[in-house]
Amino acid sequence: MRLTLYQIDAFSDKLFSGNPAAVIPLNNWIKDSLMQQLAMENNLAETVFFVPNGTDYEIRWFTPAKEINLCGHATLASAFVLFTQLGYNKPSITFHSQSGPLVITRDGDKISMDFPSWKPEKTADYPDKLQEALGVKEIVGVYRSRDLLVELNTEDDVKHADPDFTLLKKLGHKVIITAPGKEVDFVSRFFAPTYGVDEDPVTGSAHSQLIPFWSEKLHKTKMIARQLSPRGGQLWVEQKGERVQMGGQCVFYMKGEIFL
């Protein structure tokens, strides 16, 4: 069996920035264990697989360690591959996922994704060593949705956080840290060592939580966000009722062939 693999830098307009995703289109699903092995071999934050389902597609995402229920940058990369490499010429793509249907549209070189809105709720139920694990001076508040969202005071606090990934892994949570931005509406970083990804470069699923959080705090529906990982990435986002929209660009890096 031979599979085609594309590597795409998502949420970026230039190579070697944004978040790289491995995209493997399939005609039919292969074994879960094989998809996990391929993700481990690729050793990127996510490897994404999709198969046709009528005029739509089914989609699944794997980190090097396990399957996850939603991934933004790999969905963006999948749409980019369909639009630019596989001849898809309809105005929108619908991916069916564990998190429901995801509708993707294209406007020039910007691709927009319609995702669920997961509003975080404030909580006092978080590990005592969370601040130590994140390597931050002060925590403003902790909120819970799919992940733990930790509010910090400033963009510099987010930028200069120095996580202890060994301790963070022991705490067992995926964690978003965030603060108001200087040149954008808000900034963030995302840590998931329990899923085999110490720091994810740009994280769409985290923005399903960040967008409703900041929309309420800033009293805005349309915002610009930046993820402050070493690679970095920028998103154009909007709160739309029970859904959020996030848009970004992609850059083609590589096409290869897998021999199994």
Active site residues: 46
Tokens standing for residue 50: 């999709």
Q: Amino acid letter at 113? A: M
Rounded to whole angstroms, the Cα distance separating 16 from 231 reads 7
CB 109 within 8 A of CB 122: no
* Longest CA pairwise span in the chain (Å): 52
CA angle 48, 49, 53 (to 5 degrees): 135
Buried b (16+ CB within 10 A) or exposed e, 191-200: bbbbbbbebb
Tokens standing for residue 4: 């085609």
CB 48 within 8 A of CB 74: yes
